[in-house]
C-alpha cells in the first residue's frame, strides 16, 4: 500500500512539476526571446540573432533617430503618472467610504467601481471618444489621463479595499477615545496600515496605464502619441528592431519597480508569514 502511495505521489509531483515548467515556459519564454532579439546585429526582427551587440539600444537612445519614440515615451509616462495619482486619490476615498459599510448600497457602489475591469476596453475607448466628440473636445493628454484613470482606478480600489476591510475597528475606537480627530486618526493610524495596499494597487495601475492600447488608440492623436501605439505602428510598417530594445528597457524598468514595490509594501514577507 505504501508503495502505491509513493508511486502516486511521484506521479503527481511529476505531472504537477511538468505543468509548472510548461506554464513558466509559456509566460517567461516570450520575454527571454524579446530580450535576446533586442541584442541582435540584424536589421530585422528574427530569432535567434546571428550575433549580439548593443546596436539597437544605441539607436534607441539616439535623440535624433528616435525622437518620436522619446516623445511617445514621455507622453506615456506623464499620462500614466497623472492617471495613477488621480486614481489613487479617488480609489482610497472610495475604499474608505465603502470598506466598513454594511449597507446594500455600498455593495452596489463597489460593483460599479470595479465595473471597468469587466467592460471591454475597446468598447470603453470608443465610448469615451464619442463622449468627448459630443462635447466638442479635441484629443489631448488631459483626455488621455481621464480615460486611463477610469480604467486603472479599480486596481488601486481593489487592493486598498482589501486592506481597509482588515483594519481592526478597536484601533480607530481607541484613537477616538484618546481625543484624536478623524484626520489625525487617518494620518497616524489608517494611512500607515493601508499604505501597502495603496502602493501595490498604484504599481498595478501604473503598469496597466503604460501598457494600455485600446483607450490610447481612440484618444491619442499625432501630437499626443503614446508609446504602445508608436510601437504598434513601428511593428506594422517596418518591423523596426528598436521595438525589441524598447521592450527590453520596459522589462528592466518593471523589474526595478517590482523590487521597489516589494521593499515598500513587504509583500514577499507578508506572504511568507
Sign of CA dihedral 35, 39, 42, 48: negative
Query: Can you give the pTM of this predicted structure?
Result: 0.83
Q: What per-residue confidence (pLDDT) applies to 116?
A: 85
Residues 5-42: tens digit of each pLDDT: 676 677 778 888 888 888 888 888 888 888 888 888 88
- pLDDT range class, residue 1, cuts 50, 70, 90: very low
Q: Which three cell numbers stand for residue 107?
A: 455593495
Q: Which residues pair with residue 40 across a beta bridge?
A: 52
Q: What per-residue confidence (pLDDT) applies to 79?
A: 93
Contact 93, 112 (CB under 8 A): no
Residues 220-256: tens digit of each pLDDT: 877 788 888 888 888 877 778 888 888 888 888 888 8
Report d(CA 67, CA 108) in Å as an integer.
Answer: 47
Q: Could you give the domains of the chain?
A: 56-272 (1.10.3720.10)
Report d(CA 105, CA 119) in Å as an integer.
Answer: 21
User: CB under 8 Å to 218, separation ≥6 — which residues?
Assistant: 125, 126, 128, 129, 147
Give the Cβ contact number of residue 76 at 10 Å. 25
Amino acid at each position: 500500500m505504501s508503495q502505491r502511495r509513493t508511486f502516486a505521489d511521484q506521479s503527481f509531483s511529476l505531472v504537477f512539476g511538468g505543468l509548472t515548467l510548461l506554464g513558466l515556459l509559456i509566460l517567461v519564454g516570450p520575454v527571454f526571446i524579446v530580450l535576446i532579439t533586442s541584442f541582435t546585429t540584424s536589421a530585422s526582427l528574427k530569432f535567434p540573432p546571428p550575433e549580439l551587440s548593443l546596436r539597437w539600444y544605441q539607436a534607441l537612445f539616439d535623440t535624433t533617430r528616435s525622437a518620436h519614440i522619446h516623445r511617445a515615451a514621455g507622453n506615456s509616462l506623464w499620462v500614466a503618472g497623472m492617471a495613477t495619482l488621480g486614481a489613487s486619490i479617488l480609489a482610497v476615498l472610495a475604499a474608505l467610504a465603502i470598506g466598513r459599510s454594511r449597507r446594500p448600497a455600498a455593495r452596489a457602489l463597489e460593483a460599479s467601481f470595479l465595473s471597468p475591469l469587466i467592460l471591454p476596453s475597446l468598447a470603453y475607448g470608443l465610448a469615451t471618444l464619442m463622449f468627448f466628440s459630443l462635447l466638442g473636445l479635441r484629443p489631448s493628454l488631459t483626455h488621455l489621463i481621464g480615460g486611463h484613470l477610469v480604467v486603472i482606478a479599480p486596481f488601486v480600489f481593489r487592493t486598498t479595499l482589501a486592506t481597509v476591510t482588515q483594519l481592526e475597528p478597536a484601533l480607530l475606537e481607541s484613537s477616538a477615545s484618546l481625543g484624536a480627530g478623524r484626520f489625525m486618526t487617518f494620518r497616524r493610524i489608517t494611512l500607515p496600515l493601508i499604505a501597502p495596499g495603496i502602493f501595490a494597487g498604484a504599481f498595478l495601475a501604473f503598469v496597466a496605464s503604460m501598457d494600455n492600447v485600446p483607450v490610447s488608440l481612440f484618444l491619442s492623436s499625432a501630437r499626443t502619441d503614446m508609446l504602445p501605439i508608436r510601437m504598434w505602428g513601428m511593428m506594422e510598417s517596418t518591423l523596426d528592431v528598436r521595438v525589441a530594445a524598447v521592450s527590453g528597457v520596459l522589462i528592466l524598468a518593471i523589474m526595478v519597480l517590482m523590487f521597489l514595490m516589494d521593499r515598500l509594501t513587504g509583500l514577499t514577507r507578508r506572504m511568507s508569514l
